[in-house]
């Protein structure tokens, strides 16, 4: 939009006056943020209204992206960028003596997700708006986000994330769009005079679902889409009938907290209630929106696509069946045909223990009508497929089995598309986790490699780099990230490579200042910034990284004179509160950091900075400063990864196993520009099949590795007698489930190579440049365009390849 600086300043000062009845000098940073937020809402208002008017007039097919997590990050800066107002506002505030960046960090970062899954949903919403797709997010408005992490004595302590305490300037509560979600009670089918059956409910536990809408601004295209998050409340009828405090509490808890565990299903009824709550409310609002504009349900699949981000929203399938049959009087056959045409599903894991299931008894009690429908889906699936595939395969794949409702199987059976998130992952789905269902529905399986919103992760997070890129190739890459590949022309431009180093140094200084203020550690900006940021999980193998730090520490102690480039090892990671082993590793890293950072013999050659409370905003600070991107999961375990893409786009080279999208990153940037190592997925599966992995063999045959492992239990690292023993035992007594010891040697080899190569800054920056130039293929815009073409069948803005 068009806005002069003068107009902006006038608007801003007026907003301050209106909101606070005082002048600028009397307002806090947060108050200034809030005023800016209100202004941006006002500037964007016409776009938001116009977008939904347009969609309605054109009767556009709508995409509904259901996800139990969204991690959008702060919105002020990205909304301003997308509206084309960032420079105007920054300059205008400067004139008023204010620092925009300082004000923008006063915005709370909503932690409505655990990690990659929620962040992917947010990146895709951003891309849908930017591609002019009629995209809608559907999720839960958690009263408390993911816990705030602090360290006490090196241990993780979880504090509540009260992100709504000061309100949320971006949301609109839409009471007129609220709807009822039913739990429990009895349900029976009553025959009607016309011969049909009507679902009758009694003694249900009714919950009122109230939507809060947030505008999602497209990149300079006047499009604003909607993210709809649902909040659970007492139904208005409770005012008349009365209610007990117990009932109110039971309702409140549904949207009170996000489950802080992103690996295993929580296994609790509350989680199931959360899942049905937002699935039901979302599908009800879709059907109502569709019904206002269309006669009958025939065109539903032409006008609606519902996407299931992992299995948590799978109940949208039986819920849509319920609405079509019970409220719109469709036959089973018609309802089922429509449902499967509408639904598509993304799988995010091949870890068996992370596949969601619910005990039938619990499911039936909480969702009696939905259970009846799942029983019928199960019965028809068995009836149709047993003659073709035999009883064994059908027993293994039916939605109901072993006393459980199997959500992933229900999702595949009820959708027309199931996709993995990187080529290796999709292949493993077909060969391993969902092998049997792949026999039944081969045509449904496809791959959609993950992507990232380059606007947030490059343009906003790394303005120095973005300006430098502009100066070389102009700004078209900002809309078409694939244009970044034209940067390869500058591979031998010595001046440009030096400028890249300078940009990196600037970003390192900014991160260094934060590390200093948070942790009291001084880091050198000429050090290698070696970064591992992701959830703490055994399969992600932060432990392998720890062993390299111990090795470097011992090497310096042994041979103080050896010259190697200084290093800063940077970690960001939250552990699920119930994940004991992960928390032990946090303690280990912090204890090691204490030892290394305070050893005078080490000085500034080696530092370890475990930055607490990793999230989107911290990622935006850390990623631009990284030289090395640690992507070292056990091959086959990381479905895709997306921090690998963010780091690549900011010129970090990957130190990576051949896992998930690392494989595609290595292919895109060229093998010589990354550091790959370790067992392949095939080798890992080989060990499983033969059962001949013996971790202790590596310990016995490699004296250096033995020495490193022994520091866990010999007192070298103070303060970890319990944790050290536990971790040591997990590797040697319990045979190292994630093959850390098998990959140790090749990992260390590449770390040494990195230390060697980093000293040749020209060579190093050439690798960095190759990564930036190749990163465009991982733009979420391209990924979402592929979803649109192949799965959702909706039009979008054209993109260059
Ligand atoms: C991108 C992102 C992730 C995903 O990181 P992976 O290394 O791919 O697991 C997790 N958390 C946040 C806050 C992110 O921005």
CA of 645 to the centre of ligand 1 (A): 10
Give, for ligand 1, the residue of 533, 630, 637 to mutate: max count of ligand atoms closer than 8 Å to Cβ. Answer: 533
Query: 529 φ, ψ to 5°?
Result: -90, 105
505 part of a folded domain = yes
Q: Determine which one of 307, 369, 535, 574 is catalytic.
A: 535
pTM passes above 0.75:
yes
794 part of a folded domain = no
pLDDT at residue 750, rounded to an integer: 98
Does any ligand 1 atom lie closer than 6 A to the CB of residue 116? Answer: yes
- What mean pLDDT value characterizes the chain? 96
151 part of a folded domain = yes
Q: Is 348 a catalytic residue?
A: yes
Closest ligand 1 atom number to CA of residue 646: 1
Strands 445-447 and 417-420: parallel
Closest ligand 1 atom number to CA of residue 614: 13
pLDDT at residue 596, rounded to an integer: 98
38 part of a folded domain = no
**Alpha carbon nearest to ligand 1 atom 2, residue:** 116
Say yes or no to pLDDT of 292 above 90: no
What is the rounded CA–CA span in Å between residue 642 and residue 219? 21
Residue 360 makes CB contacts below 8 A (sequence gap 6+) with: 371, 400, 403, 404, 405
- Please give the helix or strand (H or E) that residue 609 lies within, else none: strand 606-610
Residue 207 · residue 232 · CB < 8 Å: yes
Residues 327 and 464 both lie in one domain: no
Strands 62-66 and 135-140: parallel
CA of 570 to the centre of ligand 1 (A): 15
Name the pLDDT band for 299 (thresholds 50, 70, 90). very high
Separation in Å, CA 770 to CA 57, 532, 745: 45, 21, 27
pLDDT at residue 353, rounded to an integer: 78
Chain segment 240-252, per-residue pLDDT in tens? 677 789 999 999 9
pLDDT at residue 547, rounded to an integer: 98
Chain segment 371-382, per-residue pLDDT in tens? 999 999 999 999
Name the pLDDT band for 800 (thresholds 50, 70, 90). low
84 part of a folded domain = no
Q: Is 535 a catalytic residue?
A: yes
- Please give the helix or strand (H or E) that residue 763 lies within, else none: helix 761-774
Strands 445-447 and 357-359: unpaired
pLDDT at residue 801, rounded to an integer: 57
785 part of a folded domain = no
Residue 649 makes CB contacts below 8 A (sequence gap 6+) with: 452, 454, 457, 458, 771, 772, 775, 778
Residues 691 and 567 both lie in one domain: yes
Q: Which of 309, 342, 375 is the last residue before a domain boundary?
A: 342
Q: Which of 342, 377, 404 is the last residue before a domain boundary?
A: 342
Question: How many residues does the structure list for the chain?
Answer: 801
Chain segment 751-792, per-residue pLDDT in tens? 999 999 999 999 999 999 999 999 999 999 999 999 999 999
Instruction: State how far Cα 761 lies from the chain centre.
Output: 33
659 burial (CB, 10 Å; 0-12 / 13-18 / 19+) is buried
Q: Which of 295, 317, 342 is the last residue before a domain boundary?
A: 342
Q: Is 534 a catalytic residue?
A: yes
CA of 114 to the centre of ligand 1 (A): 9
pLDDT at residue 256, rounded to an integer: 96
Q: How many domains does the chain have?
A: 2
CA of 779 to the centre of ligand 1 (A): 15
Residues 636 and 772 both lie in one domain: yes
Q: What is the DSSP letter of 775?
A: G
233 part of a folded domain = yes
269: containing domain: 59-74+109-342
Q: Determine which one of 425, 646, 767, 796 is catalytic.
A: 646
pLDDT at residue 2, rounded to an integer: 87
Q: Determine which one of 61, 148, 273, 348 is catalytic.
A: 348
CATH number, domain at 674?
A: 3.40.50.2000
pLDDT at residue 758, rounded to an integer: 98
């Amino acid at each position: 939009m068009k806005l002069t600086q003068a107009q902006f300043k006038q608007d801003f000062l007026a907003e301050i006056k209106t909101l606070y009845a005082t002048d600028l000098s009397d307002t806090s940073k947060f108050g200034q943020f809030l005023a800016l937020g209100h202004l941006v809402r006002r500037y964007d208002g016409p776009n938001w209204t116009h977008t939904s008017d347009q969609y309605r007039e054109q009767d556009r097919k709508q995409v509904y992206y259901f996800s139990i997590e969204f991690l959008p990050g702060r919105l002020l800066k990205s909304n301003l960028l997308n509206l084309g107002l960032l420079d105007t506002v920054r300059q205008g505030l400067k004139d008023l003596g204010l620092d925009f960046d300082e004000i923008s960090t006063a915005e709370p970062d909503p932690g409505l997700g655990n990690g990659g899954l929620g962040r992917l949903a947010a990146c895709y919403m951003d891309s849908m708006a930017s591609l002019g797709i009629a995209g809608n997010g559907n999720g839960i408005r958690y009263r408390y986000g993911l816990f705030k992490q602090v360290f006490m004595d090196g241990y993780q302590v979880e504090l509540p994330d009260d992100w709504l305490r000061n309100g949320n300037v971006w949301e609109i509560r839409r009471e007129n769009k609220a709807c009822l979600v039913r739990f429990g009670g009895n349900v029976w089918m009553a025959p009607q005079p016309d011969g049909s059956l009507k679902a009758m409910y009694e003694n249900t536990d009714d919950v009122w679902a109230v939507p809060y809408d947030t505008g999602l601004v497209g990149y300079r295209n006047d499009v604003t889409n909607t993210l709809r998050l649902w909040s659970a409340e007492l139904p208005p009828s409770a005012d008349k009938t009365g209610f007990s405090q117990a009932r109110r509490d039971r309702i409140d808890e549904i949207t009170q907290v996000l489950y802080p565990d992103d690996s295993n299903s929580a296994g609790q009824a509350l989680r199931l209630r959360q899942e049905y709550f937002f699935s039901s409310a979302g599908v009800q609002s879709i059907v109502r929106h569709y019904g206002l504009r269309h006669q009958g349900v025939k065109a539903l699949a032409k006008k609606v696509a519902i996407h299931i981000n992992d299995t948590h929203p799978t109940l949208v399938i039986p819920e849509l069946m319920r609405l079509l049959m019970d409220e719109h009087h469709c036959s089973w056959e018609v309802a089922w045909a429509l449902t499967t045409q509408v639904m598509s599903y993304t799988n995010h894991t091949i870890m068996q223990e992370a596949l969601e299931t619910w005990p039938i008894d619990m499911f039936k009690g909480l969702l009696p009508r939905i259970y009846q429908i799942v029983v019928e889906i199960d019965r028809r699936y068995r009836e149709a497929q047993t003659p073709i595939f035999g009883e064994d395969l059908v027993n293994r794949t039916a939605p109901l089995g072993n006393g459980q409702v199997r959500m992933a199987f229900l999702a595949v059976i009820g959708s027309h598309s199931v996709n993995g998130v990187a080529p290796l992952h999709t292949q493993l789905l077909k060969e391993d986790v969902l092998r049997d269902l792949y026999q039944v529905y081969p045509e449904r399986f496809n791959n959609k490699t993950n992507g990232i919103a380059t606007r947030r992760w490059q343009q906003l997070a790394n303005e120095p780099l973005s300006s430098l890129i502009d100066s070389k190739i102009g700004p078209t890459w900002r809309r078409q990230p694939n244009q970044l590949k034209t940067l390869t022309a500058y591979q031998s431009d010595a001046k440009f490579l030096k400028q890249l180093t300078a940009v990196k140094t600037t970003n390192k200084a900014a991160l260094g200042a934060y590390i200093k203020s948070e942790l009291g550690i001084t880091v050198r900006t000429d050090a290698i910034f070696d970064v591992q940021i992701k959830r703490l999980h055994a399969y992600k193998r932060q432990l392998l990284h720890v062993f390299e730090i111990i090795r470097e520490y011992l090497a310096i102690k042994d041979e103080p004179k050896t010259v190697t480039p200084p290093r800063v090892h940077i970690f960001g990671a939250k552990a699920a509160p119930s994940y004991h082993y992960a928390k032990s590793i946090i303690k280990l890293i912090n204890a090691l950091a204490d030892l290394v950072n305070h050893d005078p013999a080490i000085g500034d050659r080696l530092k370890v900075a475990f930055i607490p409370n990793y999230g989107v905003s911290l990622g935006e600070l850390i990623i631009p400063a990284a030289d090395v991107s640690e992507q070292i999961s056990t091959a086959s375990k990381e479905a895709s990864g997306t921090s690998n893409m963010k780091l690549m786009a900011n010129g970090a080279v990957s130190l990576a196993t051949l896992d998930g999208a690392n494989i595609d990153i290595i292919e895109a940037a060229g093998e010589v520009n990354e550091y790959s190592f370790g067992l392949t997925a095939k080798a890992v599966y080989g060990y499983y099949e033969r059962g001949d992995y013996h971790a202790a063999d590596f310990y016995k045959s490699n004296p250096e590795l033995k020495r490193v492992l022994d520091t866990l239990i010999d007192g070298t690292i103070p303060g970890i007698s319990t944790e050290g023993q536990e971790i040591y035992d997990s590797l040697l007594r319990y045979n190292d489930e994630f093959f850390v010891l098998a990959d140790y040697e090749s990992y260390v080899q590449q770390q040494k190579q990195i230390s060697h190569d980093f000293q040749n800054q020209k060579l190093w920056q050439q690798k960095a440049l190759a990564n930036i130039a190749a990163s465009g293929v991982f733009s979420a815009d391209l990924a979402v365009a592929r979803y649109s073409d192949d799965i959702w069948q909706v039009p979008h803005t054209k993109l260059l390849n």
